[in-house]
Amino acid sequence: MLKIALPNKGRLFDEVKSTLADAGLEVRASSERALTASLGGEFMALFVRAEDIPEFVADGAAHAGITGWDCVQESGRALESLLDLGFGRCHLAVAARHARAIADIPDGASVATSFPRLAARFFDEKKKPVRIAVVSGAAEVAPHLGIADVIVDLVSTGSTLKVNGLTELDTVLASSARLVALPRVTLAADVEKELSELALALESVVRARGQRYLMANAPRDRLDAVKALLPGISGATVVDLADATFVAVHAVVPERAVYRTIGALKELGCEGILVTRIERLTP
């Protein structure tokens, strides 16, 4: 049974757990504090800190892991992204109190961050000599405490930076939750096959989010207009009905478009419109 390293707490854990459950891989643990759990009877989960997951995978303690891409890149380990799960989106940003651009940062400035590898590489590429001050968290307060002039930290909405009087200067890295493993070419064939199947199952869940399945009975003489309104993934599905004046049209539509799509379909004379959620979607 393959081992998958998962975050042991926080919002990322909640979203990972929900995504796995939607893929049919429910987390079954003996207790809330269990270090391992079954994933639908198909895999074994190992619960560790998100930042430690790259090490577990690279060292062979787990066959794959789900963590933020920022953790993978900071680790410096050669791991491959098998799937971008689409949640946990944020970016690693450079921010300062008194600068408005990277060029404004004085040479030798102190940079507070819990991402020393990525920060050092960024400033090296910018040919800007700085001193990296490693902090374990709350980097945004470092300038107020006189620990550093600049910070490199994860940003989601930017509200924390504003509260602390910091201006975002540049982006070091865009991040999101990823399914990661050692490069495929290094994996045994059976392991690579199982991980590919896991990635496919999770991708079907990710693709289904934000989508709805719409069905409607459409006048046959307005079918072209209806099909133009419902392109679907590879075109709407059309099924003949006993009533020759109507056909059944099925299509996948973005959730945000459902409201106006229903109105447009009614204007075209469609009847029996039904919209339902999609659990998984594989093109």
Q: What does the pLDDT look like over 224-243, one tens digit per residue?
A: 999 999 876 677 899 999 99
* Token pair listed for 54: 């790259």
Q: What does the pLDDT look like over 163-197, one tens digit per residue?
A: 889 999 999 999 999 999 999 999 999 999 999 99
Radius of gyration of the chain (CA): 24
Which residues lie closer than 8 Å to 85 by C-beta, 6 or more apart?
15, 16, 19, 66, 176, 177, 178, 179, 202, 206
Supply the pTM of this predicted model.
Answer: 0.88
Which residues lie closer than 8 Å to 12 by C-beta, 6 or more apart?
50, 67, 68, 88, 177
CATH T-level assignment (fold) for domain 211-277: Alpha-Beta Plaits (3.30.70)
Domain 3-88+176-208 identical in fold to domain 211-277: no
| In 67-115, alpha helices (H) | 69-75
Q: What does the pLDDT look like over 64-80, one tens digit per residue?
A: 999 999 999 999 999 99
For residues 131 and 148, give the distance between their C-alpha atoms in angstroms, rounded to a whole number. 9
Select 90-174's CATH number: 3.40.50.80, 3.40.50.1820, 3.20.20.70, 3.40.190.10. Answer: 3.40.190.10
pLDDT at residue 137, rounded to an integer: 78
**Class in CATH terms, 3-88+176-208:** alpha beta
**How long a stretch of residues is the chain?**
283
What are the domain boundaries of the chain? 3-88+176-208, 90-174, 211-277
> 192 vs 25, 40, 133, CA distance in Å?
18, 19, 40
